[in-house]
Amino acid sequence: MPRYHSLGKIPHKRHTQFRKPDGSLYHEQLFGTIGFDGMYSNSYHEHRPTMVKDIKRQYSVAPKIAKENNLQSYRLRGFQVKPENDYLESRKAVLTNSDCSIILSAPKHSLEDYFYKNADADELLFIHKGSGKLRTHLGNLDFKYGDYLLIPRGIIYQIDFDTEDNRLFIVESRRPIYTPKRYRNWFGQHLEHSPFCERDIRVPYELETNDEKGDFLIKVKRKDEIIEMVYASHPFDVVGYDGYNYPYAFSIHDFEPITGRIHQPPPVHQTFETDAFVICSFCPRLYDYHPESIPAPYNHSNIDSDEVLYYVDGDFMSRNDIDAGHISLHPAGIPHGPHPGAVERSIGKKKSNELAVMVDTFKPLMVTEEAMKIADEDYYKSWL
């Protein structure tokens, strides 16, 4: 997050002696990104964060590809993904390429028996159903329906869920995820025309500091494998940190839609950016107010990007037969648009209550076997 944050206790100067009450030193860790060129944080630990005790199993969790070269539009029925007890096992990649994976997940149980760290990818969790607390070594964040949780690569985390009824839409990104640069001034502050600003971003507010030693399992994800590493001290042993690299939350309900007299293009909905894809939030909003306007979108060819829409809530005006939890995939180069009847239906309407998350990837997405289990194979004929 391009904004300074400090939590817990830190010494006045970085890289200087910072002592515990018993006179011994805390252990400083510089947690950097993009070499030493990106955002970073300095954290202070009870124990050395380097005490690997054992390396156990290493196994593949790579998505199994059903269609590598896909030009077929699909509808995926996301809520047909079966709930599973374990958080990591519940995550089913449905679409993937070398930059990102799009994952559906219905975890029943909290992640509390082990710790998890994605060493390759930033993780963006969109909470469709459920509430609870994201617990990380750099502090905790409460979450509920509509929240995006941005967990930068390398953050060690667990998740507490309040109930067993949870639905997550997750994007794993090998490219860093930022808020759009064009929303920020040259100091990094969000500009007046940005659809959200610093007040809408929730930063970690609670630091858990555990002094325990023992056996602590961290499942580390690297190159589509999980590597089980046992550490000799509790991963949440930070007494304080400061910097720019930490997890944060943003509610889709805090996104202020930009509207116009005629149809506004998708970039007005943009919420996050990477150099490999964008993420947009389609939120309840007033419709176009030109007297002759057509609120439904026009047919369009997004020739350079595959378009993934995840439908969250409300009526999806441009589509027939789309429900919450569905994903539509419209591959690059294949024109798509409103379903038959949708254009006429939209004329004269004053507002939309649709809520959806869009991911537009610049490289083609491969369709996985998990996707084929929940796919509507005939969706591509739905404009006839």
Closer to Fe ion by Cβ: residue 307 or 370: 307
CB of 338 to Fe ion, least distance (A): 10
Total number of residues shown for the chain: 384
CB of 322 to Fe ion, least distance (A): 13
Site string for Fe ion, 300-319 (x = CB under 5 A): -------x------------
Q: What is d(CA 255, CA 270) in angstroms, rounded to the nearest whole number? A: 10
Closer to Fe ion by Cβ: residue 46 or 307: 307
CB of 373 to Fe ion, least distance (A): 24
Q: What is d(CA 123, CA 117) in angstroms, rounded to the nearest whole number? A: 10
Closer to Fe ion by Cβ: residue 32 or 260: 260
CA-closest candidate to residue 252, choices 229, 267, 269, 238: 269
Closer to Fe ion by Cβ: residue 38 or 265: 265
* Cα-only R_g, the chain: 22
CB of 118 to Fe ion, least distance (A): 29
Q: What is d(CA 108, CA 246) in angstroms, rounded to the nearest whole number? A: 26
Residue whose Cβ sits closest to Fe ion: 307
Closer to Fe ion by Cβ: residue 32 or 364: 364
Closer to Fe ion by Cβ: residue 306 or 307: 307
Contacts of 204 (CB under 8 A, 6+ apart): 5, 7, 136, 138, 139, 140, 141, 246, 247, 248
| Ranges within 96-115 binding Fe ion (CB under 5 A) | none
CB atoms within 10 A of CB 73: 18
CB of 95 to Fe ion, least distance (A): 15
Site string for Fe ion, 250-289 (x = CB under 5 A): ----------------------------------------
Which residue is listed with tokens 């610093």?
A: 198
Using CB under 5 A as the binding criterion, the count of chain residues that bind Fe ion stands at 1
| Ranges within 179-218 binding Fe ion (CB under 5 A) | none
CB of 330 to Fe ion, least distance (A): 6
CB of 205 to Fe ion, least distance (A): 37
CB of 376 to Fe ion, least distance (A): 17
Closer to Fe ion by Cβ: residue 123 or 288: 288
Closer to Fe ion by Cβ: residue 99 or 307: 307
Positions in the binding site for Fe ion (CB under 5 A)? 307
